[in-house]
Amino acid sequence: MRNILIPTDFSENAWNATKYAIALFEHEECVFHLLNTYTPSIAHSRFMASAVNGGMEDATHGNSQKGLENVVERIQKTYDNPNHSFNTISSFSLLVDEVKELVEEKSIDLVVTGTKGSSGLEEVFMGSNTVRIIKSVKDCPVLAIPQHFEFETPSEIAFATDFNRFYTVSELQPLIDMARTFNAAVRIVHAQYEIKALTELQQFNLSMLRKYLSEVEHYVHTVSELNSVSKTLEVFTDELDIHLLAMLNYQHSYMERMTREPVVKRIAFHTQIPLLVIPELGMSTNSKIKREVSFSN
């Protein structure tokens, strides 16, 4: 049984992410953990935190709980799936801190969160809660859903890489199992400023990647990098009608490069497809075990 964590602020953006997660795992047994965190604005100052009285916190907690109950009620009216159960969590905490704690405590397999704004994933790279979650959560993948994206079965998945890093099969397991679950083709995309032959190291990493994906339909695409990685991937995913973009998040990865791109380049990133961010495998035994079962049936 999967454990899926969905942070919500009760916005339509969060509801869209919730709908996507429910549709994505329609045929699997899941517990969806719906999380709302609340921190009265006065508590954001360490000098005034002591001024938060019980009454204010109680009222805010009540609103949070009621909001979560409304979400569950809305789900049950919209969907009738015996495979799914729901757990609500209302917490007086900072969002990222609570997400990290729950990932460990509830053995979360995937965090699903919405991204705001008309440009969808652009918001991920502009300091939103989503990017903070992506940077902080080390033990499970994060799936970011653009605000207006309507669910499509992900039969075409792009995996962006430069082949400069050796991936372990455990790190790639979420991608492999996603492809298996939906019988999807994986399109490995490598962006270069100038198209040139791969180095010996890149060739080795590519060969290992293809070995890991041997039971999955996959293709390798080398494309000319446009004015930014963001724009290049936007054009690629649009032209090939990609339903999901996956990346590993590690030092010098495409994901890191995109978060560091100048704002003038990021603004051009208007792709409207979900982004699956897989953290690099940690050294702890718990992390290794967890990643090997992540997305497994």
Domain harbouring 102, CATH code: 3.40.50.620
Give per-residue pLDDT as tens, 30-77.
999 999 999 865 444 444 444 455 556 677 889 999 999 999 999 999
Could you tell me if 192 and 296 lie in one domain? yes
Rounded Cα–Cα distance for residues 119 and 76 (Å): 30
Whole-number pLDDT of residue 181? 93
- From 10-14, 30-34, 109-113, the region with the lowest mean pLDDT: 10-14
Does residue 16 have a pLDDT over 70?
yes
The domain boundary, picked from 134, 151, 168, lies at 151
Q: Does 161 lie in the same domain as 134?
A: no
**What's the domain range around 57?**
1-151
180 in the same domain as 65: no
The yes-or-no verdict on residue 185 having pLDDT over 80 is: yes
Q: For 123-137, 185-199, 215-229, which range has the lowest pLDDT when averaged over its residues?
A: 123-137
Matching residue, tokens 């919500």: 8
Q: Is the pLDDT of residue 88 over 50?
A: yes
Question: 53: helix, coil or strand?
Answer: coil
- pLDDT of amino acid 229: 77
Note whether 200 and 286 are same-domain residues.
yes
Residues 115 and 229 in one domain: no
Residue 218, token pair as written in the block = 């996959």
How would residue 90 be classed by pLDDT, with cut points 50, 70 and 90?
A: very high
Q: Same domain, yes or no, for 206 and 91?
A: no
| Token pair 């969002």 in the structure block, residue | 95
The residue that leads in pLDDT, 263 or 213, is 213
Q: What does the pLDDT read at residue 115? A: 81
Q: Are residues 40 and 116 in the same domain?
A: yes
The span from the CA of 6 to the CA of 19, in Å, is 10
Residues listed for the chain: 297
Average pLDDT for 14-20: 95
- Please report which confidence band the pLDDT of residue 230 belongs to, taking 50, 70 and 90 as the band edges: confident
Summarize the confidence of residues 182-190 as an average pLDDT: 96
Same domain, 134 and 164: no
Q: Tell me the average pLDDT of the chain.
A: 82
- Least Cα distance to 209 among 186, 240, 232 occurs for 186
